[in-house]
Amino acid sequence: MKIFYRDVFIILLVLIVIFGCQQQQQNSTEKENEMIKNEVKNQFENLVSALNNSDPLAWSEFYSKDEFISSFVSTDFYPTRNQFIDIITSYFTLREHQHVEPLEVQVSELTPTLALMTSQERIEMKLKNGENIKSKHVFTMIWQKENDEWKIIHSHESWINE
């Protein structure tokens, strides 16, 4: 458990350093802020579509290949994109069907090229072994604009079975 808290502390420290060391940028106008929120929400909708289509290749494309920092799945920590993509892809193979229904999505602009997104979803899965799972699920994601496209550089997801 101490290792988990150390890892969380390190991740938070890295994020503070990243945000704190960036050159001060001009504040976005309200219109630019709304545009960022809409772009990130649209990307998230596309990610949900890939999840609902059980398409791990399409899903993985939403995660930055160059700027990936880390991911947490419940309390499991993945410091590299490849480790994270591999484990989630293996989870896809266990599922016959899945449906993710976003209930609430909030986006906050951090800078003109960084955004924090939080969401709540209802998830229903049918596993290949016949088990049906219904869960309340949450994401916290940091999105970064790369080559005119928003990519996830850090994510954390948790859930509770209903």
Q: Which domain holds residue 106?
A: 29-161
pLDDT averaged over every residue in the chain: 90
Tell me, yes or no, whether 151 lies in a domain: yes
Confidence band for 6, pLDDT divided at 50, 70 and 90: low
Task: Give pLDDT, residue 28.
Answer: 72
Evaluate if residue 31 carries a pLDDT over 50: yes
pLDDT above 80 (res 17):
no
The answer to whether residue 5 is domain-embedded is no
The answer, yes or no, to whether residue 98 has pLDDT greater than 90, is: yes
pTM of the model: 0.83
- 70, part of any domain: yes
User: 42 in a domain, yes or no?
Assistant: yes
Query: Could you give the CA distance from residue 15 to residue 75 in angstroms, rounded to a whole number?
Result: 18
Strand order in the sheet with 149-161: 76-78, 70-73, 149-161, 132-146, 114-127, 95-111
pLDDT band, very low/low/confident/very high, at 23 (cuts 50, 70, 90): very low
